[in-house]
Structure 1
């Protein structure tokens, strides 16, 4: 099969012909019909993920058609249209038994622990636990855009933030994760303040339901600006970028007993950010992480999509081919493209 492969961290990836995957007894092989290009893939490419073994095929936001099925798989057959969370559970550890596959002790992550979806085919493990069937009405491009950013935002806003109608939600960073969070919070009836340094991204945030925006490059104190807009601070605030500055601002702009949800990855030199702990104590703030979403939670999100309350297709910025994915991957840290980039030609 054709795949994007890098043989050293930060070295230019190449299109190569590599062996087709074969299914594990508990797994399937999926013909990739679409795959998103995510900043997490960039983190992997530069060497921030210790699970990656070289040479490596990136890609974890995928949708496609089941091509081959392992002998122990009971719920899926060849031809099924599927997607998969970027964190898969083993099904046997205490976390999986509690329903928390997103923090499985022996988790499977396509594009990180194993070869991913920047390829014509990808092998997926523990299919009966981790695969999600796609509605016939959903196209593969939209389905791929769910894979990491949208489902991660859904869990962050709904399950971790417990956002409710009428609350103020601040979203710091309006890339794919942030824009997804804005759409989801707005659908729940919350009032969203979007924060970014790009007017193009802030305009997109307003189009997706943000009632106010803050250009962080034009104000002196972002947290104070959010507190003024929300008349006391956000009830829920997300760092959707993953940077010490956005993390700090997200915590500092909370009202008393508010929740900060860390969604953007904090890796390498950003892994130990300064936290305004005096505010955490004095205001009784909550600091929460959010790491993907379990396959069994997709139904709630898909129902909101079926009803028209969520329209993730609006987040798609451009579609490209597999060759173009190389440039899209290595330039992810420039934040040049608004919306989600999806590979649709292999």
Structure 2
């Protein structure tokens, strides 16, 4: 198969011809129809993820057709259209038994613990637990955007943030996951604030449901700007970027008993950011993490998409070739792109 591979962290990946994967007893091989290029992939390429073993094939936002099936798989057959959460559960640990596969003790992640989807084929395990059937009408490029950014945003807003109609939701960072969060919060009836450094991204955020926008380069104090717009602070605030500044601002802009959800990764030298704990204690704030979404929760999200309440296809920016993904990956830290970049040609 053709794939993108890197042999050293931070070194430019190359197109390589690699052996086709084979499924394990309870796994499948998926022929990749589309796969997203995500900031998490950039973190992996930079060496910020301890689970990656070199050489490595990145990519974790994927959709396609089942190409091969292990002998113990019961729910899937060759040709089925599927996607998969970026965190797969083992099915046997206490968290999996409780339905929390996104924090499985023995989790696997294509593109991190295993070779990923910047390739024509990708293997994934425990298929009966972790695969999600796709509607026939959903293009692979749309489905690929669900596996990390949109599904992560859905769980962050719906399950972790518990956003309700009429609440104010602030989203710090208007990349793919931030735009997804804005769209989902708006569909729930919330008022939303998009916060970013880019006028282009803020303009796009308005088409995704932002009620108000804040450009951090043109205001004196982001926290005060949010408090002014909301009349006292956000009920829910999400750091969708993953940076000490956006984390601090997100917690600080909450009203009393507000809920902060950390969605963006804070890794390497940014892994332990300062937190305004006096406010957290005095205002009884909640600080919540959000790490993907279980396969069994996809049904609620897909129902909203099929009803027209959510339109993830609006969040797709560039559609690129596998060869072009190398440049897209290595330049991801510049935050130049609008929306989600998706590989659609292999």
**Partner of 2:66 in structure 1?**
66
**Partner of 2:165 in structure 1?**
165
> So what's the TM-score if we normalise by structure 2?
1.00
**Partner of 1:319 in structure 2?**
319
Query: Aligned equivalents of 1:149 and 1:11: distance in 2?
Result: 25
Identify unmatched segments of 5+ residues in structure 1: none
User: Is 1:266 the counterpart of 2:269 in the alignment?
Assistant: no
Query: Aligned equivalents of 1:313 and 1:218: distance in 2?
Result: 30
**Partner of 1:112 in structure 2?**
112
Secondary structure of residue in 2 paired with 1:63:
strand
Counterparts of residues 147-166 of structure 1 (less than 5 Å): 147-166=147-166
**Partner of 1:208 in structure 2?**
208
**Partner of 2:185 in structure 1?**
185
Runs of 4+ in structure 1 deviating by more than 6 angstroms, as ranges, are none
Deviations 1:187-227, CA, capped at 9 Å, x for gaps: 00000011000000000011111110000111111011001
> So what's the TM-score if we normalise by structure 1?
1.00
Query: Aligned equivalents of 2:262 and 2:182: distance in 1?
Result: 15
**Partner of 1:289 in structure 2?**
289
Counterparts of residues 1-346 of structure 1 (less than 5 Å): 1-346=1-346
Query: Aligned equivalents of 1:207 and 1:22: distance in 2?
Result: 43
Query: Aligned equivalents of 1:134 and 1:207: distance in 2?
Result: 26
Query: Aligned equivalents of 1:187 and 1:142: distance in 2?
Result: 18
How big is the shift at 1:273?
Answer: 0.3
Query: Aligned equivalents of 1:21 and 1:27: distance in 2?
Result: 11
How big is the shift at 1:147?
Answer: 1.0
Deviations 1:153-194, CA, capped at 9 Å, x for gaps: 000000000001000000000000100000000000000011
How big is the shift at 1:36?
Answer: 0.2
Secondary structure of residue in 2 paired with 1:150:
helix
Secondary structure of residue in 2 paired with 1:45:
helix
Secondary structure of residue in 2 paired with 1:323:
coil
Query: Aligned equivalents of 2:156 and 2:302: distance in 1?
Result: 16
Secondary structure of residue in 1 paired with 2:324:
helix
Query: Aligned equivalents of 1:120 and 1:238: distance in 2?
Result: 34
Query: Aligned equivalents of 1:9 and 1:339: distance in 2?
Result: 26
Secondary structure of residue in 1 paired with 2:9:
coil
Query: Aligned equivalents of 1:334 and 1:147: distance in 2?
Result: 23
How big is the shift at 1:93?
Answer: 0.1
Query: Aligned equivalents of 1:50 and 1:220: distance in 2?
Result: 38
Deviations 1:1-56, CA, capped at 9 Å, x for gaps: 00000000000100000000000101000000100000000000000000000000
Query: Aligned equivalents of 1:20 and 1:207: distance in 2?
Result: 41
Query: Aligned equivalents of 2:238 and 2:338: distance in 1?
Result: 19
Query: Aligned equivalents of 2:134 and 2:317: distance in 1?
Result: 22
How big is the shift at 1:74?
Answer: 0.3
Deviations 1:93-147, CA, capped at 9 Å, x for gaps: 0000000000000001000000000000000110000000000010000000111
Alignment size in residue pairs: 346
Deviations 1:274-304, CA, capped at 9 Å, x for gaps: 0000000110000000000000000000000
Identify unmatched segments of 5+ residues in structure 2: none
